Structure 1
């Protein structure tokens, strides 16, 4: 596993390189990435080799403002023309529970799961979530290993080999291995394992 010294955007190309190499070794040849506005998707499109199916998972329309789609229409068009998929969906680990929390307070089960996954890293939580979202849409099978990439706010910094599950079967999801992620741990030797 590669540990990055920092989180987020500076790791996007390194994360994609690691993920693509691993996706080429999987039987599914599928690479899932999260992209809110199109930055990571555009990077992936420039790097993706023939033979890998790129599935870009974006958050739902209205995430920040009602009726607003933050994902770049131009990037979406280029991805689709290249034969890849852009899937816009509600977050599997927050969805309607967020509306209840905002109105009534409290905490809900999906938010507890999200926070537990964030203990590993924000990008790790995103990898799990986009795998659920892609499985719910039928874009990946629940019996195949795929590579998923997520990040911390902007860009990608985490890649995981994962066997997806439908969100209604969350606990059937399997993590094969973590390929890369950011690390806050510094034991004086982290630089030997970290990139950037």
Structure 2
């Protein structure tokens, strides 16, 4: 199971709920290249919360690069595509959680934290804009490098949507997004 969790709180809730069920929990959080330029603390999950997650056997991915933008387009696909527009479209139509759930599954697969030949559950949400962990999907992840994730035979595939919010953007979320001037 892969969980997006900026503070570790959501990952800890998942780990507690699954305690004793022989389920590996992977927490994907912000890496230094995102946190430090924004004036944030890194590692984001530290101290007592990190210790607690480690006690539960949660693998914390805070050094894995996120997947976005023209860097992604050229480095992995050797071409330029409108990935920002695709991200914005997915966020708008399916919600931040859906887009993020797909991303964290790919990130976890890329670093070897989850297998690419098995389905995993990915949980994510709207995070800092106030929606919480409101999306869960079953996905067969794939490696991003070289474009494997879009390969017709080996590519990533969302198998099932377990939870998806009907309301994708609340007034509060829209205001927060506009304030931060960030759609992604």
State the TM-score, normalizing by the size of structure 1. 0.67
1:78 is displaced (CA, Å) by: 1.7
> Which structure has greater strand proportion?
1
Map of 2:95 onto structure 1: 121
1: distance between equivalents of 2:86 and 2:115? 22
- Residue in 2 aligned with 1:90? 65
Distance 1:82 1:132, change over 3 A: same
Residues 124 and 134, structure 2, Cα contact 8 Å, conserved in 1 = yes
Gaps of 5+ in 2: 73-79, 169-184
Structure with the larger RCO, 1 or 2 (CA within 8 Å, 6+ apart): 1
3-state SS, counterpart of residue 12 of structure 2 = helix
**1:93, 1:113 within 8 Å by CA — same for their partners in 2?**
no
Residue 166 of structure 1 is matched in structure 2 by: 143
Superposed displacement of residue 125, structure 1? 0.3
1:65 offset after TM fit, Å?
3.0
The 5 A counterparts of 1:177-196 are 177-184=160-167
SS in 1 for 2:29: strand
Residues 78-131 of structure 1: CA deviation (Å, up to 9, x unaligned): 22222221111221234846xxxxxxxxx9633233223212111000001001
Matched with 1:176 is: 159
The equivalences for 1:39-118 within 5 A come to 39-50=9-20, 51-66=22-37, 68-69=41-42, 70-88=44-62, 89-94=64-69, 96=71, 109-118=82-91
Q: Which runs of 4+ in 1 moved over 2 A?
A: 64-68, 70-74, 93-97, 107-110
Gapped regions of structure 1 (runs ≥ 5): 1-30, 98-106, 186-196
| Alpha-carbon distance change, 74 to 166 in structure 1, aligned in 2, over 3 angstroms | same
* TM-score w.r.t. length of structure 2: 0.71
Equivalents in 2 of 1:109, 1:77: separation in Å? 40
